[in-house]
């Protein structure tokens, strides 16, 4: 048993014949930004899904904050202090921004059901407290003017930020960001880089980030891990990994997508 | 226009702004006066609207807020009606038999909620449909308990020794229960429980990642929805005064679903609007029946077909229901003459290109 903040030991994920992830091990130190890069289908999102317990690893163990989380129930992960965002944005689209952030507070609500049905004073106090926390996040991410809007009516770039905010509302110790810059334009991507820095420095949250934009990766990462076809290619500083011959080969060797050196404005 | 809010507490208050308090107060006051101003026939009709509203709020929590469709909700209405009537006829006082009817219905809700946990959409619709038919069948066959096809007379309830008579007594009773049910529903919606339901409706996968136990909250939603519908059922029993199993079949279930869809999914106002519409439509049809051309009024399946037609039209052209239409009108008049055409168009939303596999 290691006393690392987070560690994955020989984890594997097989879907029938597909070996999406195969004997991957890595540690993440408290307070660092650890990035995972790799071409499409490398298994990056699958690793996140194992950590948030949507998938149960075929083999290996996951440890977080001194606890084995390999087989814990998925809804318990948030309470332990792990929050995430999704590659394709999974917000509650028919609720307002504020409601979305308040749902992010769910792991901190302890009121028994009956006291909620009766809206006892203790529930009211807790609600005011949740609201204060949500407002702090709104201010932190500069979302004031969208507070009462339905997510369905917000532009894509804003939604990306809201999803980050919802994750922050749970006051996580570990934050998993799945392609935070995808779909953002250059300017928005720069904004995202600042926020990631702030989250790390001001809120001292540890971050694991999956990202294709190499400029963003280089700007915020302490360490980078490159993955291809479910296996680790290289691990080290951003420059080391980007220059690693195997990584270069994986990206240009007929793989669908090369690492983007510039941010690409997408839809 | 709405006033500016100055504290978080204000957002937690039930009615919201002061003008709302005044409006809802006036509405409640006029509802209290209905029996003084109208004939027994209309008081009866209004009781029916109130009872449907209670059931509508119950189903709205499940379908409108949790996103789980039930085509068997009439069964919970029936379970509530029979439980209340049977308890009453065995000497249980009404102040106990009514809440017990709700609890027994809620237990039935748990019984259907747990086995259907992993179902959604069409599969859930079919499972609940089957459940509804089974309950009717049990009601027909279990003669000893329900009286089967012979039906079951519903004793007149009494509270503190005072008989609650049809129609005025039942009217006030239904009004009180509706106020209670709305209070509970509004509390649900402003607490973590209600937000968990909305989260499950909109994205199960991220609800789970926010720490929401899907199995638990879906079951709770079924239980509360069934329980509230059971309360409506108990009152329904007193309204009709004689129960027969087949009155709680698929047709009633479809009426209940129509309430939430026509009213507008995800809105308590919608549940009430929908209930008014669905409860009064048969009366409206009866009024114009003889004046319709080509003998349309005499066609046998007119009423159910009309329900179906309206349901389809609403889903196609006004998916936000009566409530959504009302909000648009309100916005139009508030902004008049500055309205923009675009606010009347349906908002384009970004389709998710690819869900998590
Ligand atoms: N539930 C699943 N069932 C079957 N195969 C899956 C499942 N989830 C992922 N895979 C497969 O596992 C492999 C890795 O997928 P994953 O989503 O982790 O890639 P990724 O590195 O996140 O790629 P991208 O950059 O495109 O997001 C792919 O071949 C994918 O098709
Ligand atoms: Mg991915």
What local confidence, expressed as pLDDT, does residue B7 receive?
73
CA A78, CA A165: separation in Å to the nearest integer?
A: 14
Domain annotation covers residue A237: yes
Q: Is B195 an 8 Å CB contact of chain A?
A: yes
DSSP string, B199-266: HHHH-HHHHHHTT--HHHHHHHHHHHHHHHHHHHHHHHHHHHSEE-GGGGSHHHHHHHHHHHHHH-TT
Q: Are residues A38 and A155 in the same domain?
A: no
Q: Which chain A residue shows the shortest CA-CA distance from B320? A: A94
| pLDDT tens digits along B150-182 | 888 888 888 887 887 878 899 999 999 999 999
CATH of the domain at A243: 3.40.50.300
Distance A58 CA to ligand 1 centre (A): 15
When pLDDT is averaged across residues B104-108 and rounded to a whole number, the result is 97
Q: Do the bridges between strand A231-236 and strand A223-228 make them parallel or antiparallel, or are there none, so unpaired?
A: antiparallel
**Cβ contacts of residue A84 below 8 Å, gap of 6+?**
A48, A51, A52, A167, A175, A176, A177, A178, B209
The range of the structural domain enclosing residue A56 comes to 1-81+172-267
Cβ-based contacts of B201 with chain A (< 8 Å) = 92, 94
Work out the angle between the directed axes of helices B250-263 and B121-141 (0-180°, nearest 10).
Answer: 140
**Cβ contacts of residue A17 below 8 Å, gap of 6+?**
none
What are the C-alpha distances in Å from B51 to residues A122, A199, B44, B56, B296? 32, 52, 11, 9, 30
Contact B195 A83 (CB under 8 A): no
Angle (CA) B183-B185-B190 rounded to 5° is: 95
Interface of B with A in 329-348 (CB under 8 A): 347
Domain annotation covers residue B2: no
Q: Are residues A33 and A159 in the same domain?
A: no
What local confidence, expressed as pLDDT, does residue B16 receive?
67
H-helix or E-strand spanning residue B41: helix B40-59
Domain annotation covers residue A253: yes
Q: Are residues A193 and A247 in the same domain?
A: yes
Domain annotation covers residue B280: yes
- Higher-scoring residue by pLDDT: B350, B68: B68
CA B295, CA B311: separation in Å to the nearest integer?
A: 23
What local confidence, expressed as pLDDT, does residue B25 receive?
87
Q: Which chain A residue shows the shortest CA-CA distance from B200? A: A92
pLDDT band at B354 (very low <50, low <70, confident <90, very high): very low
pLDDT band at B274 (very low <50, low <70, confident <90, very high): very high
Q: What's the per-residue H, E or C state across A138-151?
A: HHHCCCHHHCCCEH
pLDDT band at B315 (very low <50, low <70, confident <90, very high): confident
Lowest-confidence pick of A106-115, B134-143, B325-334: B325-334
Domain annotation covers residue A114: yes
Residue among B6, B336, B332, B65 nearest B220 (CA): B65
Whether the CB-CB separation of B179 and B70 falls below 8 Å is answered with no
Lowest-confidence pick of A9-13, A145-149, B88-92, B290-294: B290-294
Domain annotation covers residue B211: yes
What are the C-alpha distances in Å from B316 to residues A104, B227, B309, B320, B321? 33, 31, 11, 10, 10
Q: Which residues pair with A221 in a beta bridge?
A: none
Asked if residue B350 has pLDDT above 50, the reply is no
Q: Single out the residue in A133, A154, A169 at which a domain terminates.
A: A169
What local confidence, expressed as pLDDT, does residue B357 receive?
28
Contact B211 A99 (CB under 8 A): no
Domain annotation covers residue A264: yes
Provide the domain count of chain B. 1
CA A252, CA A260: separation in Å to the nearest integer?
A: 12
Q: Single out the residue in A153, A169, A185 at which a domain terminates.
A: A169
Q: Residue B309 CB: number of other CB atoms within 10 A?
A: 10
Q: What is the DSSP letter of B15?
A: S
Q: Are residues A181 and A260 in the same domain?
A: yes
Distance A203 CA to ligand 2 centre (A): 26
pLDDT band at B43 (very low <50, low <70, confident <90, very high): very high
Domain annotation covers residue A211: yes
What is the complex's ipTM, to 2 decimals?
0.87
Domain annotation covers residue A87: no
CATH of the domain at B131: 1.10.3470
Domain annotation covers residue A151: yes
Q: Which chain B residue shows the shortest CA-CA distance from A76? A: B211
H-helix or E-strand spanning residue B312: helix B302-317
Cβ-based contacts of A83 with chain B (< 8 Å) = 209-210
Cα torsion through A201, A206, A212, A216, rounded to 10:
10
Q: For ligand 1, atom 17, name the residue with the nearest CA.
A: A45
- Higher-scoring residue by pLDDT: B312, A75: A75
Q: Is B201 an 8 Å CB contact of chain A?
A: yes
Q: Tens of pLDDT along chain A (267 residues)?
A: 446 899 999 999 999 989 999 999 999 999 999 999 999 999 999 999 999 999 999 999 999 999 999 999 999 999 999 999 999 999 999 899 999 999 999 999 988 999 999 999 999 999 999 999 999 999 999 999 999 999 999 999 999 999 999 999 999 999 999 999 988 999 999 999 999 999 999 999 999 999 999 999 999 999 999 999 999 999 999 999 988 888 888 887 654 444 444 444 443
Q: Single out the residue in A146, A169, A192 at which a domain terminates.
A: A169
Q: What percent of chain B is modeled with pLDDT above 90?
A: 49
Compute chain B's Rg from CA coordinates.
21
Contact A127 B353 (CB under 8 A): no
The range of the structural domain enclosing residue B198 comes to 24-355
Asked if residue B352 has pLDDT above 70, the reply is no
First to last CA, chain B: 45
Domain annotation covers residue A9: yes
B355 lines ligand 1 (CB under 6 A): no
What local confidence, expressed as pLDDT, does residue B15 receive?
67
Domain annotation covers residue B310: yes
Q: Are residues A29 and A115 in the same domain?
A: no
Q: Residue B4 CB: number of other CB atoms within 10 A?
A: 7
Provide the domain count of chain A. 2
Domain annotation covers residue B18: no
Domain annotation covers residue B30: yes
């Amino acid at each position: 048993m290691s006393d690392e903040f987070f560690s994955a030991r020989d984890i594997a994920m097989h879907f029938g014949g597909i070996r999406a992830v195969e004997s991957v091990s890595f540690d993440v130190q408290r307070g660092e930004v650890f990035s995972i890069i790799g071409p499409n289908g490398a298994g990056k999102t699958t690793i996140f899904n194992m950590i948030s317990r949507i998938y149960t690893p075929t083999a290996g163990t996951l440890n977080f904050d001194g606890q084995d989380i390999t087989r814990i129930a998925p809804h318990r992960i948030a309470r332990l202090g792990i929050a995430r965002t999704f590659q394709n944005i999974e917000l509650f689209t028919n609720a307002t921004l504020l409601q979305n952030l308040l749902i992010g507070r769910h792991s901190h609500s302890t009121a028994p059901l009956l006291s909620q049905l009766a809206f006892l004073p203790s529930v009211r106090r807790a609600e005011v407290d949740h609201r204060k926390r949500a407002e702090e996040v709104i201010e932190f991410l500069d979302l004031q003017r969208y507070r009462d809007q339905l997510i369905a009516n917000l532009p894509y770039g804003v939604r990306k930020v809201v999803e980050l905010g919802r994750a922050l509302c749970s006051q996580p110790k570990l934050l998993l960001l799945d392609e935070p810059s995808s779909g953002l334009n250059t300017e928005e991507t720069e904004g995202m880089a600042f926020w990631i820095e702030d989250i790390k420095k001001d809120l001292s949250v540890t971050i694991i980030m999956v990202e294709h934009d190499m400029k963003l990766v280089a700007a915020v990462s302490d360490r980078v891990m490159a993955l291809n076809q479910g296996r680790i290619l290289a691990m080290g500083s951003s420059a080391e990994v980007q220059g690693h011959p195997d990584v270069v080969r994986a990206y240009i060797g007929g793989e669908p997508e090369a690492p983007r050196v510039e941010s690409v404005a997408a839809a | 226009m709405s006033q500016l809010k100055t504290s978080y507490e204000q957002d937690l208050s039930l009615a919201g702004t002061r003008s709302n308090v005044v409006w809802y107060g006036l509405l409640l006051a006029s509802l209290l006066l209905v029996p003084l101003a109208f004939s027994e026939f209309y008081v009866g009709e209004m009781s029916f609207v109130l009872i449907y509203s209670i059931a509508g709020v119950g189903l709205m929590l499940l379908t409108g807020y949790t996103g789980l469709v039930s085509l068997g909700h009439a069964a919970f209405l029936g379970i509530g009606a029979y439980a209340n009537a049977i308890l009453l006829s065995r000497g249980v006082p009404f102040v106990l038999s009514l809440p017990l009817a709700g609890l027994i219905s809620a237990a039935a809700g748990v019984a259907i909620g747990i086995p259907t946990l992993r179902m959604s959409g069409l599969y859930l619709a079919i499972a609940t449909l089957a459940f509804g038919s089974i309950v009717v069948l049990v009601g027909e066959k279990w003669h000893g308990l329900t009286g089967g096809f012979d039906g079951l007379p519903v004793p007149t309830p009494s509270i503190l020794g005072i008989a609650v008579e049809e129609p005025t007594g039942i009217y006030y009773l239904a009004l009180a229960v509706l106020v209670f049910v709305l209070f509970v529903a509004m509390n649900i919606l402003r607490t973590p429980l209600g937000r968990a339901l909305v989260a499950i409706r909109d994205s199960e996968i991220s609800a789970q990642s926010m720490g929401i136990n899907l199995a638990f909250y879906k079951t709770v939603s079924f239980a509360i929805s069934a329980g509230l519908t059971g309360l409506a059922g108990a009152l329904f029993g007193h309204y009709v005064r004689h129960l027969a199993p087949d009155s709680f079949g698929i047709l009633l279930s479809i009426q209940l679903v129509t309430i939430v869809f026509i009213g507008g999914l995800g809105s308590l106002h919608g549940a009430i609007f929908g209930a008014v519409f669905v409860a009064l439509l048969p009366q409206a049809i009866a009024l114009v029946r003889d004046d319709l051309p080509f003998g349309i009024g005499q066609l046998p399946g007119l009423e159910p077909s009309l329900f179906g037609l309206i349901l389809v039209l609403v889903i196609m052209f006004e998916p936000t229901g009566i409530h959504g239409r009302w909000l648009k009108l309100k916005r139009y008049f508030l902004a008049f003459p500055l309205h923009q055409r675009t606010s009347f168009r349906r908002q384009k939303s970004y389709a998710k290109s690819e869900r998590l596999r």
